[in-house]
């Protein structure tokens, strides 16, 4: 073979080697070997009625100082979930700044506890487990789960922790840990987008409450300020000691009374909540956090939602958001993920506080599809305002809602937290038992009513993150304000 021909062959060979990959074996045919069985061609029906009733048997009592005791006895597993919930001590309640409130809750748990002999001890643990805390929208709770056999120790630890924080010197480690937590929760893109959207819709003060991020508030909080925040936010009259598991009310009372009876009542009652903030958005405003080079955009949409002072709207709105953006097969997930493939899926979150109600939707899109996808998302919300949902959609959403609640209260820890939420919202446990009836009464028109009352798809501030390639498409959505990403 002449040299030139050999060179051509080598060149072709190199091209083949570089440009292709070894093929996989071919599939066998027929593709499916399992034989058709007509009797198995249809899905089987459910074997019993749907779970439609959530029964939680609970008992409650009050100690003389006003502390509520709440017990749900469940004896199938040998452990007890304890939770101490204080209503009115949420991050939107304004008792202290959200940063100081979280720092205070952390100092209660990590800052040392005055033990029965007067010494300061930390960390307090039962079988390696310490007290957890969370500052929610409308309450703060401290939780500890213990084996039944360790219940007396567990109650002692929880009771001393919430009542006898030392707050005396040595709180710098607590500040360091809270700064770490605050940085990691406020540094991310989502937090920045939520803040931009909230500032645009509701103003800077509200945005600062929604996304606590003032590091100086943590660095500079004095021990005295922490103590003051504790005294103003945690009191027996506004708190409940909740126990779920292998325990009765009589047992809880007997175990808790020695620990809590000397805690003086303050005579305090929960004040009226502030009025819900009104969004002031006018038209569509895009707050664009410009990234260097991003493979995807990130979008955060905020919509008003009912507060606890609109109790009749709470469940219809939850069903509405389920149908719009919630379920795997929600309208928006169907359109944007399953039909168009431009996202992996939407992540909604409902905030249902005493004076704040919000629906937050977080989602990533393909860069080039971002503006169209945002339009589609807003259009879905508009449609819910203009046309009632179908009976089938509503029925499925009701079932999912009920099941999700049943799932949450299906564990001792889940039920203890749920009871804390109900307590904080001023609801009785019977709310759970009545849920089935409440759901049955909801009609498609109710969802349309709450859609009209709360959603504002045409007047909203959006937070968007993505690179310069999005410039033109965003301009077609509405007014665009650009921001430089502080971090990527």
Partner 1 sequence: MLGLTKPAVTFACLSLLTAAAHAEDFRLQNGLHVVLAPDPNVNNVALVVSYETGSGSDPAQYRGLAHLVEHLTFRGSRHLLDGQGTDMIEATGGGSNAYTYPDRTMYVAVLPRAALPLGLWIERERMAFALDGIDQAALELERKIVRNEVHQRAGLHWLLGMQRQRSLYGLPHPYASEDAAYFDDVSAISLPDVQWFFQSSHRPDNATLVLVGAFAADEARPLIERYFAPVRNPELQRASLHPPAPKQCGVHRVELGHYFLQGRMLSVTWTLLPPSSAPEHMTLRALQQLLDGRISEQLVRGSFEASSVSVRLDHRKTHSLLHLEVMLHDRTDFARVEARVTKVASELAARALSEAELRSLRGELVTQAVLAREDPLEQAMAIAVGFDSIHDREHASALDAPSLQRAAAQLTGHRLVVSARPSQAVSHGTDILAEDNPCR
| Cα(108)–Cα(116) distance, integer angstroms | 16
Is residue 160 within 8 A of residue 179, CB to CB? The reply is no
Choose, by CB under 8 A, the member of 87, 412, 417, 449 that binds partner 1: 412
Bridge-based pairing state of the strands 113-114 and 59-62 = unpaired
The neighbour count for residue 276, using CB atoms within 10 Å, is 21
Measured at the alpha carbon of residue 203, what is the angle toward residues 320 and 374, in degrees to the nearest 5? 45
Minimum distance from residue 384 beta carbon to partner 1 (Å): 19
Binding track over 238-267 against partner 1, x by CB under 8 A: ------------------------------
Residue 270's nearest CA partner among 306, 308, 304, 244 is 308
| By CB under 8 A, residue 402 contacts partner 1 | yes
| By CB under 8 A, residue 327 contacts partner 1 | yes
Choose, by CB under 8 A, the member of 232, 366, 372, 467 that binds partner 1: 366
- Output the CA torsion 402→400→144→416 (10° steps): -10
Minimum distance from residue 133 beta carbon to partner 1 (Å): 16
DSSP of 149-161: GGHHHHHHHHHHH
| By CB under 8 A, residue 158 contacts partner 1 | no
What part of residues 55-84 is at the interface with partner 1 (CB under 8 A)? 76-79
Q: Give Cβ neighbours of residue 205 (< 8 Å, ≥ 6 apart).
A: none
Is the Cβ of residue 18 or residue 224 nearer to partner 1 in the bound state?
Answer: 18
Binding track over 4-23 against partner 1, x by CB under 8 A: -----------------xx-
What part of residues 454-483 is at the interface with partner 1 (CB under 8 A)? none
Binding track over 380-399 against partner 1, x by CB under 8 A: ----------------x--x
Is the Cβ of residue 372 or residue 396 nearer to partner 1 in the bound state?
Answer: 396
What part of residues 190-229 is at the interface with partner 1 (CB under 8 A)? none
| By CB under 8 A, residue 177 contacts partner 1 | yes
Q: Which two tokens stand for residue 445?
A: 């028109």
Is the Cβ of residue 400 or residue 453 nearer to partner 1 in the bound state?
Answer: 400
| By CB under 8 A, residue 170 contacts partner 1 | no
What part of residues 289-318 is at the interface with partner 1 (CB under 8 A)? 295-296
Residue span binding partner 1 (CB under 8 A) among the ranges 48-56, 59-67, 84-92, 300-308: 48-56
Burial (0-12, 13-18, 19+ Cβ within 10 Å), 39: exposed
The neighbour count for residue 467, using CB atoms within 10 Å, is 16
| Cα(459)–Cα(457) distance, integer angstroms | 6
């Amino acid at each position: 073979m002449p040299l030139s021909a050999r060179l051509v062959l080598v060149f072709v060979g190199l091209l083949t080697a570089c440009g292709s990959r070894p093929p996989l074996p071919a599939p066998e045919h027929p593709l499916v070997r399992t034989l058709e069985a007509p009797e198995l061609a249809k899905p089987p029906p459910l074997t019993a009625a749907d779970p439609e009733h959530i029964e939680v048997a609970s008992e409650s009592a009050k100690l003389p100082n006003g502390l509520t005791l709440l017990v749900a006895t469940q004896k199938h597993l040998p452990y007890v979930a304890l939770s101490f919930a204080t209503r009115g001590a949420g991050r939107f309640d304004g008792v202290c700044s959200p940063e100081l409130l979280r720092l205070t809750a952390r100092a209660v748990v990590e800052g040392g506890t005055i033990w029965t002999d007067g010494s300061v001890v930390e960390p307090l643990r039962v079988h390696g487990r310490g007290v957890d805390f969370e500052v929610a929208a409308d309450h703060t709770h401290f939780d500890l789960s213990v084996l039944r056999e360790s219940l007396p120790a567990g109650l002692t630890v929880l009771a001393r922790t919430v009542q006898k924080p030392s707050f005396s010197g040595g709180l710098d480690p607590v500040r360091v840990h809270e700064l770490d937590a605050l940085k990691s929760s406020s540094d991310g893109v989502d937090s920045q987008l939520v803040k931009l959207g909230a500032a645009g819709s509701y103003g800077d003060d509200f945005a600062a409450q929604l996304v606590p991020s003032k590091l100086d508030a943590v660095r500079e909080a004095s021990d005295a300020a922490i103590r003051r925040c504790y005294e103003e936010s945690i009191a027996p009259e506004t708190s409940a000691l909740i126990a779920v598991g292998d325990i009765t009310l009589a047992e809880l009372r007997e175990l808790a009374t020695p620990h809590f009876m000397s805690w003086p009542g303050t005579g305090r009652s929960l004040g009226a909540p502030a009025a819900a903030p009104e969004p002031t958005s006018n038209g569509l405003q895009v707050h664009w956090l410009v990234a260097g080079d991003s493979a995807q955009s990130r979008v955060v949409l905020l919509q008003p939602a009912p507060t606890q002072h609109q109790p009749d709207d709470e469940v219809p709105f939850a069903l509405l958001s389920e149908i719009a953006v919630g379920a795997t097969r929600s309208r928006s997930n169907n359109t944007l993920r399953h039909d168009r493939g431009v996202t992996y899926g939407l992540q909604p979150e409902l905030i249902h506080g005493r004076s704040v109600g919000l629906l937050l939707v977080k989602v990533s899109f393909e860069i080039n599809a971002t503006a169209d996808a945002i339009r589609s998302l807003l259009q879905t919300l508009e449609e819910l305002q203009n046309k009632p949902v179908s009976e089938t959609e509503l029925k499925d959403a009701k079932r999912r809602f009920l099941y999700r609640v049943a799932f949450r209260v299906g564990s001792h820890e889940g039920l203890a937290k749920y009871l804390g939420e109900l307590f904080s919202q001023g609801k009785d446990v019977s709310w759970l038992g009545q849920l089935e009836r409440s759901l049955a009464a909801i009609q498609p028109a109710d969802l349309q009513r709450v859609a009209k009352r709360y959603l504002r798809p045409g007047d909203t501030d959006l937070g968007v993150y993505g690179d310069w390639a999005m410039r033109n498409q965003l301009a077609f959505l509405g007014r665009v304000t650009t921001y430089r990403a502080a971090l990527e």
